[in-house]
């Protein structure tokens, strides 16, 4: 009988300690994922949000407008316009020009939209070009 009495408190402490460990790990995962989550919008959805979208980390999808690309290799600065439906958005990016970046390319820009209505991208993701799609 005394063996069972000693086992119960040990089992309760083990379960309690395990629950605390699971809660701590869950909380740390929540904190790490909170910073990496960003909204995905189209250009027209971003425009519809207006001031509510300012200074928020978001992703915006669109197509690079032909004739809008301004690349400064010396300063590593890329300015261009993306469009979706009838909405357009000026994007400013500082960094290496992505491989395959050209007019009419589908892109996903990651960054912040500012009150001056300029999207300052910290990253440009190229969508897969059609050359990788199977031929019909």
Q: Does residue 129 contact residue 87 with C-beta atoms inside 8 Å? A: no
Same domain, 31 and 97: no
Same domain, 46 and 97: yes
For the chain, the domain total comes to 2
Residue 79: strand, helix, or coil: strand
The region that residue 5 occupies, defined by phi over 0 for left and psi between -120 and 50 for alpha, beta otherwise, is alpha
Residue 108: strand, helix, or coil: strand
Same domain, 22 and 50: no
Same domain, 47 and 97: yes
Which pLDDT score is estimated for 1? 47
pLDDT band at residue 132 using 50, 70 and 90 as cut-offs: very low
Q: Is residue 11's pLDDT more than 60?
A: yes
Same domain, 46 and 32: no
- The CATH number of the domain where 87 resides is what? 2.40.50.140
Distance (Å, rounded) from C-alpha 43 to C-alpha 41? 6
Same domain, 27 and 71: no
How large is the average pLDDT for residues 59-69? 95
Find the domain containing 29 and state its range: 1-37
């Amino acid at each position: 009988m005394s063996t069972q009495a000693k086992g119960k408190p040990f089992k309760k402490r083990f379960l309690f300690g395990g629950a605390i460990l699971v809660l701590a790990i869950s909380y740390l995962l929540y904190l790490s994922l909170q910073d990496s989550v960003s909204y995905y919008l189209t250009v027209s959805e971003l425009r519809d949000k207006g001031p509510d979208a300012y200074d928020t980390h978001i992703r915006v999808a669109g197509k690079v407008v032909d004739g809008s690309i301004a690349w400064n290799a010396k300063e590593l600065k890329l300015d261009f316009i993306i469009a979706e439906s009838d909405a357009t958005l000026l994007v400013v990016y500082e960094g290496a020009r992505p491989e395959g970046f050209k007019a009419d390319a589908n892109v996903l820009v990651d960054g912040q939209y500012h009150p001056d209505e300029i999207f300052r991208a910290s990253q440009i993701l190229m969508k897969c070009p059609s050359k990788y799609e199977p031929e019909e």
